[in-house]
Each structure stands twice: as structure tokens, then as C-alpha cells.
Structure 1
Amino acid sequence: MSGMLNCLGMLAGLAALLPAATSARAESDVERIFGHIAASGEAYACFSRHYTKAHLASHPEQNVTDMLVYVTRQVGPDPYYSLNMQVNFRHIRKPFQISGGCSESEDGRQTLGCGVECDGGSLAVRVKDESAILVEIPDQVRIYDPSADADDETNGADSIPRNARFGADDKLFRLDRTDLKDCLPVIYDEETREKIAKGVITQ
């Protein structure tokens, strides 16, 4: 009888551990990008990088000096993702922006595959660790000038300065997680921008 009681005690102990084991489901890479996904299914994340003069001196073929990336997860029949990016280039004071829609990748080499608007090329996002991502830009992607008149039809590739281009060493960028408020310049939805500015939405 004592042996049976010992077995029952062991089984009870194992049963007590089962909920914890079940709740310890490994996070997907997409979840790791956001760090937190709201009960509604929406999620927001901001990443940035400023390259020092020393870094740029050692990478003369890199034209990007600053990069800001805002990634969102929205809900619908299926979750969908978007990416807005702002970049600064050497020798140009004003920033340029990129935006597009993304989907979860199934090739195992990237987390999100993103297509830039207006058939402007593609880029990919991978998780580096809990506080950083890798942004891969294999080829040139379409950028636009946010300071230009939105109704100006000439705000296309022909209107972008020749030196506002990704260089030979602008293929892979590591960006660090930062406060959502840092991404306000690339948050286009007014309601969301206001909520983030007021701290209603936090990362």
C-alpha cells in the first residue's frame, strides 16, 4: 500500500508540473520580434541603429548612416504585417523612407519577407536575439522623400538624388530594439501615432 501511495504522490507531482510545461511553449521568431503581442493580436516594435564615424570609416562602401524600422502586426482573417523604414545616407541631410507589406517566411532563413510598395523590391527581417533584428536588403529597393509634396507625381525614382542609394556594403543591418516613440517619424496611422506618443501603446 505504501508503494502505491508513493506512486500516486509521484503522479500528482507530475500532474502539477504539466500546466507549467504546457505554458512554456517556445516563442516563434515573429513573437520574438515584438516581445509582446496584445490580447487583440496587434503588436508593434521599433528598432534603430546609428553608425559611428569609426564604423563608417572601416566600411567605406556602406552608404547608410542611420536606420529606423517600425514593424507592426495587425489582425484580420489572417494576421498581416507591415514595415516602415527611415534611412539616412552619407552626404545627404534629409532622411528617406521605405514601406511595404510583410508575411511570415516559410524558408527557415528569415522571419518576415517584405515587399516594398509599388513593385519597389524586397527585403527580409530575421531575429538576431531578444533585443535585436537583422534587416537584409539584397538589392536596391524603392525609397521616397517624405518631405516632398505627397501629390507630386515626380516623387519617384527619377527625383531621388543619385547618392541616396544603398551601397555595396548596405546588404545586412543589425538594429537594436528601442522605444516605440522613437519610431514616430515612420508611423503613418494618425490614431496609432497619437496613442504611442501618449504612452497608451507601449512595446
Structure 2
Amino acid sequence: MKRILFSVHLVVAAAMLAGIGHTRAEDGVDSAKTAAFDKRIFAGPPRRKSYACFVRGYDANHLTQRPKQKVSAMKLLVTAENAREEKTTSHSFRLGIKYRHRTGNFDSSGFCGHVVTEDASNEIRFDCGVDCEGGGINVALSKDDKSTIIRLERIRTWNRNKPDQEAEDALVAGADDRLFRVDRAGAEECAELVTDRRELAAIRHK
């Protein structure tokens, strides 16, 4: 667990250096505020393992208005896992992407940490990053808690159906690919992002 927590702090630092918003990292964030944010994103206090799923398929009208948007569909699964013996919670994410002009499903994953924006709002968000300088995403909640607002500059992805050596790719922010609103859905809607059989069974029985 200590290795996981250390990875979270490294990820947050890397995401900040990558320029995903102007934020203050986990150590400077009020624990009561992080608990309140977790309660909002997971629709209740996180249990031993909790999931939050957000999905969006962009229709033809939306894409016509944003001709430079590369993404046609996106899924985000955020996980909280409590280590009772250490009284700590780790957070991770899985992201699924479909492109409008390319075939295949592209995935990414990594760890998340809480940050606070350094503007007047002092908003709590997740900064989530991919290992080995793979970029990441910044995740905020809409005011009604029904959607996440995903911001990115660059994130490494992998084609789900290709061997590892051929699979690596990246989504780089363009004019219409920097900000995504993705709507809350049942955890089973994100089941395709999970490869572990036990975890998949748990999600499908939510």
C-alpha cells in the first residue's frame, strides 16, 4: 500500500508539471474537503471498494459543430479502495476512448490524487496520471454531480485489441479535444474497461 500511495503523489506531481490546470497537490488539501468530494463522486461515502462510471457518446449534431474533435465516445471509471488496516484510500482511473475517424477501442489507466485549483473557486478535483510520463487527465464534477468534466493535454492510450508492442497511442489535446463532459451511468456501463474477473463480477452486480 505504501508503494501505491507513493505512486499517487508522483502522479499528481507529474500531472501538475504537464500543465493540467493550476492546482495545489494532495498534501495541501483539507481532508474534510477531499472526503466531501469523494462522497459526491461515488454518490456516497466510499466503501471498501467503490466505483463511479461516466459515459458519453457524441451524436452527429455535436460532432458537426466541433469538426476538429477526434473523440466520438468516452468512458471513465473511477475506483476508490480503502485499506482498513492503514486507514488510507487509494484512487485510480480507467479511460476508454473511441475515435470518429479510426476503428478500435483505446484504453488508458493510472492513479489519482486530490488537488485544489488555485483560482478563486478553490475547487477540489482529481489529477490522474499514467506511469512513465504518459500524461493524464484532470477530473472535476459538475455542480449537480451528474457529470464529470475531464480536462487533458495528452494521455497515452493502448489499442485494446492489439499486442502491447503495437498498441501504444496517445490522445493529444486539439482545438476540440481539451474538455469533455461525461455523464454519470451505472457501473456496469464501464464493465468493458475492466479485465480482472473478480472485479468485473463485482461491477456487474452493483
Q: Give the TM-score band, short-chain normalised.
A: 0.7 to 0.9
Per-residue Cα deviation, 1:41-89 (whole angstroms, up to 9, x for no partner): x211100001110110001111111000000001123211001010111
Amino acid in the other structure paired with 1:79: T
Q: TM-score, normalised by structure 1?
A: 0.74
Of 171, 181, 185, the residue aligned with 1:174 is 181
What is the number of residues matched between the two proteins? 166
Of 107, 114, 133, the residue aligned with 1:104 is 114
Of 143, 149, 155, the residue aligned with 2:167 is 155
Amino acid in the other structure paired with 2:37: D
Please give the residue correspondences for 1:31-180 in structure 2 after superposition, counting only pairs within 5 Å: 31-40=39-48, 42-76=49-83, 77=86, 78-107=88-117, 108-128=122-142, 129-137=144-152, 139-149=153-163, 152-157=164-169, 166-180=173-187
- Tell me if structure 2 keeps the 8 A contact 1:110–1:125: no
Per-residue Cα deviation, 1:108-155 (whole angstroms, up to 9, x for no partner): 344111111332012111010221111111x12111111012xx4343
Please state which structure has a larger fraction of its residues in strand: 2
Structure 2 residue ranges without an equivalent (≥5): 1-31
Determine what percentage of the aligned residue pairs are the same residue.
28
Amino acid in the other structure paired with 1:83: F
- Tell me if structure 1 keeps the 8 A contact 2:38–2:46: no
1:5 aligned residue: none
1:28 aligned residue: 36
Cα distance between partner residues in 1 of 2:105 and 2:166: 18
Deviation at 1:166, TM superposition (A): 4.4
- Tell me if structure 2 keeps the 8 A contact 1:63–1:166: no
Cα distance between partner residues in 2 of 1:136 and 1:184: 23
Amino acid in the other structure paired with 2:99: F
Cα distance between partner residues in 1 of 2:101 and 2:112: 31
Q: TM-score, normalised by structure 2?
A: 0.73
Structure 1 residue ranges without an equivalent (≥5): 1-24
- Tell me if structure 2 keeps the 8 A contact 1:64–1:166: no
Cα distance between partner residues in 2 of 1:189 and 1:182: 16
